[in-house]
Amino acid sequence: MWTTQLRSKSSKNITYYRGGSGLPLILIHGVGLKLESWNAQIQYLKKYFDVIAIDLPGHGESEILESRDINIDLYSEAIKSFTDEIIQKKFIIMGHSLGALIALDYIKKYKDDCYGLIALNCIYQRDNEAMNALKNRLKNSFSENFDKEVDTTIKRWFGEGESTENIELAKYCRSWLLNSNKTGYRSAYKVFANYKGVPKKLLMENILPSYFITGSQDKNSTPDMSRKMNELCENGNTLIVEGAGHMAQMSHFSQVNDAILTFALEIENWRNNT
């Protein structure tokens, strides 16, 4: 399931996989990952929708952003350029972790592009202790401790002594992180580590159908964060995936896939009846 996907490339050098037909659904991964982290969703959802999974700039086979001061705005702008060129119609936007923050920033700027939002394992208003821990991890990613930091990340995502299946998933994710474009990884991690969380004002002004999904065991993108974000949105909903951690779309893909399908079909039915 986690094998490499055949990619295409936009004129701005963002690589992507596209499959299926119908309502477009764009998938945006998190720090250090690549579009293959969505393989379980790609295989399932392309039977119903036009699925587009991208490599973020500086990840997978996409080129890095040409700026010394990378911020979340630049990622949103890069995706806007991509969607204008490749999709050219309204879509549902879905992101995981940093990808979820980018998706939320995108709808703040370009809400007319989107039918709905799915934010998977998204952070909201981290406390100072969490922010300091992230900045320490960022510092380690710039040192000779990079491999050790990757191992710590994998343990945080999947735990220790878990099921055989999770051990296999952890091996894939560890390989992706270790073989990532280090400049792209660190730029993205810097953005993530210095971002406290989704602004309350953004959520309160969001009128799009929105689904906040996280794992019950995710200690950073916590269930409480998803519930709070949901409560602030006019058309929000939330799902806490029991037993899942930060990589819920991989470890608990069946539950996540069913939730995405139900949400997207509701939007498609509404669209067809208006």
Domain count, the chain: 1
Q: Output the pLDDT for position 32.
A: 95
Within a domain: 146:
no
Q: What is the pTM of this model?
A: 0.96
Strand order in the sheet with 24-28: 8-9, 15-19, 50-54, 24-28, 91-96, 114-120, 210-215, 236-241
125: amino acid identity, one letter: Q
Within a domain: 133:
no
Within a domain: 184:
no
What's the domain range around 79?
A: 8-126+197-272
Within a domain: 66:
yes
Within a domain: 163:
no
Within a domain: 52:
yes
Q: Output the pLDDT for position 271.
A: 82
Tokens of 66: 């040409």
Q: Output the pLDDT for position 67.
A: 79
Within a domain: 135:
no
Which CATH number fits the domain that encloses residue 233? 3.40.50.1820
Instruction: Judge residue 111's burial from the number of C-beta atoms within 10 Å of its C-beta, 0-12 exposed, 13-18 middle, 19 or more buried.
Output: middle
Cα–Cα nearest to 97, from 173, 16, 175 = 173
CA distance linking residue 228 with residue 183, whole number of Å = 33
Angle (deg, nearest 10), helices 98-110 and 72-82 = 70
Within a domain: 186:
no
CA distance linking residue 178 with residue 173, whole number of Å = 9
| Contact (CB, 8 A) for 54 and 27 | yes
CA distance linking residue 144 with residue 273, whole number of Å = 57
Q: Output the pLDDT for position 202.
A: 96
Question: What is the mean pLDDT, run by run of 10 residues, along the chain of 274 residues?
Answer: 93 97 97 97 98 98 88 96 97 98 97 97 92 85 83 86 77 94 92 92 96 96 97 96 96 97 94 80
Q: Output the pLDDT for position 97.
A: 97
251: amino acid identity, one letter: S
The structure tokens 């894939």 sit at: 172
